[in-house]
Amino acid sequence: MFQHDESPDPSQPYVSGTEDNRIDNSIYPGPPTSDPPSDTTEDPLNNTYTSTITDNNTKMQESAMPAGPRSRRPSKGRASAGRGLVYLAVVLGLLVVIGGSVIAIFGGFDTLPLDSNKVSVIYVQGVMVTGNIPGGLGYATSEEISKSIQDAADNGDVKAIVLRINSPGGSPAAAQEIVTEIKKAQEKKPVVVSMGDVAASAAYYISAPTDRIIANPDTLTGSIGVIWVFQNNSAFYEEEGIEFYVAKSGEFKDMGANWRGLSDNEKQYSEEVVLEVFQRFVDEVARGRNMSSGEVKDLADGRVYTGSRAMELGLVDETGNLYYAIDVAAELGGIEGEPTVIYENRPSWSRILFGSEGNTVAGAEVFLSYLIDSPFGRIIA
């Protein structure tokens, strides 16, 4: 049997953590000395406290836990509530991001209903034609512009309309469709024109009846007149040995066909048509600018004028930029202070990101083939 070299002194108290421990404290460290045993009996031999077997087992299990402050685990209900708040915050954040992106793509933040003192800006940019072709391709369609004017006129929060024009002209018919909607809108609110680089011919046609025309000093405008263009490719067909036989019901039925030139009667008739269209143009300018037909014709030899010169001639009211035109429109509409500006048909990211495959110049030419390849030539104002 093994015996210790030194026997513990029974007169000394039993101290936990010394060599005299009967139990290895590296495995079972003793309970903190500050916590007195809950159930003890006094040993009269060495004046120390010894725990009962049950209490010893309990304290040994407690002492096996890591030292340091003890933390309570959160309840399952509290943890679930915390996770729910995190999920809710993430969802709300995503909704804000998605909503902002949709607004920016499909119209911009200027479309938000901030107040009821609004000025609507409508763009007329490109060659004016009828038909419904994708916007932003160098053409201004009467359908899109007319619809934008209607929307602005019917919006009770909009107090005035500004037409921002950058167009060399186009079809007289397209101009007439737009003028019709301008006059309807004027029954409800003022319409002001802001001319950009160029607002000539048919673009001036739609400007004349508005309440105020504002151009930049070097804007090109005017060009009051009409042309009818015919193409004669007969020399090419003769060189290529191509012949045509035409059966027609009347003398003028193939007038404008490119396989031959115009006859004398056709030339005379074409002049009559041009003068008829021109007179309607002159009458519209005379009514809109409070001028006589003779005064307009004196200026209507087809030439363009700078904005400054046009103002001297009475074709333009003032010189200024787009923002000056917006201020003028706001004043005419009875808006006090800074107006809220909305843009009805400004090119947006939605047209670029979600446009159809036809949103190309080649696609636009397909839409316009009825005009470009017309067998009757093209009447242009």
pLDDT score, position 272: 97
Amino acid at 348: S
Tell me if 185 sits within 8 A of 167, measured CB to CB.
no
**Rounded CA gap, 108 and 325, in Å?**
21
Q: Does one domain contain both 315 and 195?
A: yes
On whether residue 347 sits in a domain, the answer given is yes
Q: Does one domain contain both 195 and 262?
A: yes
pLDDT score, position 114: 52
In tens, the pLDDT along 215-267 reads 999 999 999 999 999 999 999 999 999 999 999 999 999 999 999 999 999 99
CATH number at residue 304: 3.90.226.10
Burial 81-119, CB ≥16 within 10 A → b, else e: eeeeeeeeeeeeeeeeeeeeeeeeeebeeeeeeeeebbb
Q: Does one domain contain both 310 and 184?
A: yes
**Rounded CA gap, 202 and 198, in Å?**
11
Q: Does one domain contain both 60 and 166?
A: no
Residue with more model confidence, 287 or 379: 287
On whether residue 71 sits in a domain, the answer given is no
Q: Does one domain contain both 251 and 202?
A: yes
pLDDT score, position 92: 82
Q: Does one domain contain both 38 and 161?
A: no
Q: Does one domain contain both 165 and 214?
A: yes
Any idea which residues carry the catalytic annotation? 201, 253
Q: Does one domain contain both 272 and 362?
A: yes
pLDDT score, position 210: 98
In tens, the pLDDT along 297-348 reads 999 999 999 999 999 999 999 999 999 999 999 999 999 999 999 998 876 5
* pLDDT class of 380 with cuts at 50, 70, 90: confident
pLDDT score, position 50: 44
Q: How many C-beta atoms lie closer than 10 Å to residue 320's C-beta?
A: 18
Asked whether residue 53 carries a pLDDT value surpassing 50, the answer given is: no
In tens, the pLDDT along 187-214 reads 999 999 999 999 999 999 999 999 999 9
Asked whether residue 77 carries a pLDDT value surpassing 80, the answer given is: no
On whether residue 78 sits in a domain, the answer given is no
Q: Considering the entire predicted model, what is its pTM?
A: 0.68
Asked whether residue 2 carries a pLDDT value surpassing 70, the answer given is: no
pLDDT score, position 253: 93
Q: Does one domain contain both 262 and 288?
A: yes
Please tell me whether residue 194 adopts helix, strand or coil conformation: strand
In tens, the pLDDT along 88-141 reads 788 888 887 776 655 555 455 554 555 789 999 999 999 999 977 766 567 899
pLDDT score, position 51: 43
Q: Does one domain contain both 159 and 103?
A: no
On whether residue 179 sits in a domain, the answer given is yes
pLDDT score, position 133: 73
Q: Does one domain contain both 136 and 272?
A: yes
The C-alpha angle 217, 220, 222, rounded to 5 degrees, equals 110
Residue with more model confidence, 278 or 71: 278
Q: With pLDDT > 90 as the criterion, what percentage of the chain qualifies?
A: 56
In tens, the pLDDT along 156-176 reads 999 999 999 999 999 999 999
On whether residue 81 sits in a domain, the answer given is no
**Rounded CA gap, 360 and 71, in Å?**
68
Q: Does one domain contain both 50 and 189?
A: no
On whether residue 158 sits in a domain, the answer given is yes
* pLDDT class of 296 with cuts at 50, 70, 90: very high
Structure tokens at 35: 């916590």
On whether residue 73 sits in a domain, the answer given is no
Q: Report the domain count for the chain.
A: 3
**Domain range spanning residue 20?**
1-64
On whether residue 182 sits in a domain, the answer given is yes
Residue with more model confidence, 192 or 36: 192
